[in-house]
Structures are given as structure tokens and as C-alpha cells.
Amino acid sequence: MAPTTRMAPVNVLGIFAHADTTLRAIQGLRAKGFSDLKVYTPVPVEEIEEEMDSVRPLSKVRLFAVVGGLLGTATAFFLTIWTSLKWELITGGKAPVSIPPFIIIAFELTILFTGLSTLIAVLILGRLPQIKPSPTYDPRFSVDRFGVAVACPVEKAEAVGAMLSSAGAEEVRR
């Protein structure tokens, strides 16, 4: 049902004052087959996120975190065991390779690597840092306005604008 994109698409932006009208606009647009949406919100809104996420796979941040965490655990055990075997000295009455104290290092590095890989995930998946501002961004989106930007073919722009207005947009612009 995706709209044809033979002609160069245009962006139609609707600016909303309320979370519920924004959500309704998104649902309405999606029902009509417009799927190339970008929604701006001053705070994360669970309902909007659920609606947007219903057609796309879940965020992969958790995958990054798990892989990073396991890598941290492995690194810690490798580091502690390998370095202990370089000098097989008995210190503190403990065998060169004694696992209990190494668990502490493993715990710390697991957390460290999980955190850093989560950071990397946000940057990569969220496309940050974003050097150029999006053409549809409006500074009011960091205050109290919600935005729905629809990428659609030129000939549909009129209809999309009307839909946004009827859903409750305060302002519609291209």
C-alpha cells in the first residue's frame, strides 16, 4: 500500500500541541498507507513509540549491550588469567590463577563494556551526532510541540496536509 515514489517526495510537516492528536494523526496516516513518517516529541511518548514500533523491528540497543557485556566478561577473565600465567607467583597464599578475585574484575569489566557498547549503540543506531539539522525540524519540538513529518509524493501533499489539519494540527507546512 506504500505510495508511489516515482516523483521526488516532499515533506509535509504537521505541528501539534497535544500528544493524543499527534497519535491520532499518525494512526490515520498509517491507515492510509503513508509509512515514511518522522515524529518529533519533546519527551518520549510511550503510545507514539508503540504505534511507530508496531511496523518495525525492536531497537537493537539491547543486542549491543549483551554482546558488549559478554565481551567484557571474556576480556576480564582473559586478562587476569593470562597475565597471572606470565608470572606464576603465589601471592597472598593464593594459586596464580584463582577465580574468586578475578570475578570482581570480570564484574567490573562486564558493566564497563556493557555501558560503552550501549553508548556506541545509541550513537550508531540513533545516527548521532547528526551534523545537519533535518529540514523538518522546528525548535518548538524541544519545548511543547509535537511534529509529524510525512514524506510523500508531490501530488499527495495536498491530501496529507488536509489529513494533518483534520487530525488537529495547529500548523501545516511543506
Partner 1 sequence: MTPVSGTATTPNPTWADVNRDVIRTVSMPGDRYFAWMCLIALTLAAGVAAWAWQIWIGMGAAGKRSPQMWAMYITTFVFWIGIGHAGTLISAVLYLFRAKWRTSIYRGAEAMTVFAVMTAGLFPLIHAGRMWFAYWLMPYPNQRYLWPNFKSPLVWDVFAISTYLTISVVFFLIGLVPDIAALRDQSTGIRKQIYTVMSLGWEGSDSQWRHYRRAYGIFAAISTPLVLSVHSVVSFDFAMALVPGWHSTLFPPFFVDGAIFSGFAMVLVLILPMRYIFNWYPYIHDKHLDAMAKLILVTSLVLTYFYVCEVFTAWYSGDHFERASVFAKATKQYAWAYWGMYFCNCLTPLVFFWRRARLNTTVLYVVSIFVLIGMWLERFNIIVPGLGHDFYPYTWGTYYPTITDSTIIIGSFAWFFILFLAFIRVMPSLSIVEVKEALGHPMRDGHGAHH
Minimum distance of partner 1 from residue 141's CB (angstroms): 6
CA distance 174 to 171: 10
Give the ranges where the chain is alpha helix by DSSP (H): 19-31, 46-53, 61-86, 99-125, 154-167
Number of residues that bind partner 1 (CB under 8 A): 69
Q: Are 1 and 151 in contact (CB under 8 A)?
A: no
C-alpha cell at 28: 490515520
40 contributes a contact to partner 1 by CB under 8 A: yes
Sign of CA dihedral 133, 139, 143, 144: negative
Q: State yes or no: cis peptide before 101, omega within 30 of 0.
A: no
Pick between residue 20 and residue 158 the one whose CB is nearest to partner 1. 20
57 contributes a contact to partner 1 by CB under 8 A: no
59 contributes a contact to partner 1 by CB under 8 A: yes
User: Could you say which residues in the range 130-169 bind partner 1, by CB under 8 A?
Assistant: 130-134, 137, 139-144, 168
User: Could you say which residues in the range 8-27 bind partner 1, by CB under 8 A?
Assistant: 17-21
Minimum distance of partner 1 from residue 147's CB (angstroms): 9
71 contributes a contact to partner 1 by CB under 8 A: no
3-state SS assignment for residue 139? helix
Q: Which residues bind partner 1 (CB under 8 A)?
A: 17-21, 37-49, 52-53, 59, 61-62, 65, 79-80, 83-84, 86-87, 91-92, 94, 98, 101-102, 104-105, 107-109, 111-112, 114-116, 118-119, 121-123, 125-134, 137, 139-144, 168
